[in-house]
Amino acid sequence: MLSPKMLQALNDQINAELYSSYLYLAMAARCEALDLPGAAHWLRLQSKEEHEHAMKFFQYVNERRGEVKLQAIKEPPCSWNKLCQLFEDVLAHEQYISKRINDLVKLARDENDYATENFLQWFVKEQVEEEATVDAVIKRLRLVGEMPQGLFFIDRELGQRS
C-alpha cells in the first residue's frame, strides 16, 4: 500500500508528466508555425514519450492499490520565436522534472517505501538521458547561431528521430 503522502505525490507526478506531454505538443505546434517540421516531429515524439511516462506512474499507482486522481493540466506557453530558446526551455523543464523525481525518491526513502524507490530508479536514469539529449541539441543550435543553413540541417536531423 502507498502512504497517503506518497499517493498524493505520485498523483501530482502524473499531472506533471501529462503537463510535460502537453507542453511539448504546444512546442511542436509552434515549430510547425515557424516552418521547422523536423523540430516539430522531435517534439511530438517527446510529447508521446512523456505521456508514456505518465502512464507508467498511472499503472504503478493502480498496482499498489492506490487511486489515481487526475488533475487539471495548466495551459502551456506558446510564444517561442527562436529554436534555441525553445530547446533551452525544454532543458529547463527536464531539469524541473528531474528535481521532482529526486524529491519523490527522497520521499520514498523517508516513508520506507522501498518498492516505490525501486520503481523510481528507472525515471532517475531516464532523466539523465533526457537532459543529456536536449543539452546536445542546444550545443549544436548555439554553434550555428542564426545561420539559416545551420538551422536547416539541425531541423532535418531532428526530423530523423524515431
**What burial class does residue 154 get, using C-beta atoms within 10 Å of its C-beta: 0-12 exposed, 13-18 middle, 19+ buried?**
buried
CATH of the domain at 118: 1.20.1260.10
In the numeric block, the cell 531516464 is attached to 126
Residue 18's pLDDT is 98
| Residue 106 CB partners (closer than 8 Å, separation 6+) | none
Residue range 112-126: average pLDDT? 98
C-alpha distances out from residue 148 to 69, 83, 87, 141, 151, Å: 46, 12, 17, 11, 5
How far apart CA 152 and CA 57 sit, in angstroms, is: 37
pLDDT band at 146 (very low <50, low <70, confident <90, very high): confident
The count of domains in the chain is 1
DSSP H helices, 1-147, are 4-33, 37-63, 83-110, 114-144
Please give the residue range of the domain that contains residue 23: 4-158
**What burial class does residue 74 get, using C-beta atoms within 10 Å of its C-beta: 0-12 exposed, 13-18 middle, 19+ buried?**
exposed
pLDDT band at 119 (very low <50, low <70, confident <90, very high): very high
Give the tens place of pLDDT for each residue, 73-118. Answer: 999 999 999 999 999 999 999 999 999 999 999 999 999 999 999 9
Give the tens place of pLDDT for each residue, 28-75. Answer: 999 999 999 999 999 999 999 999 999 999 999 999 999 999 999 999
Residue range 117-136: average pLDDT? 98
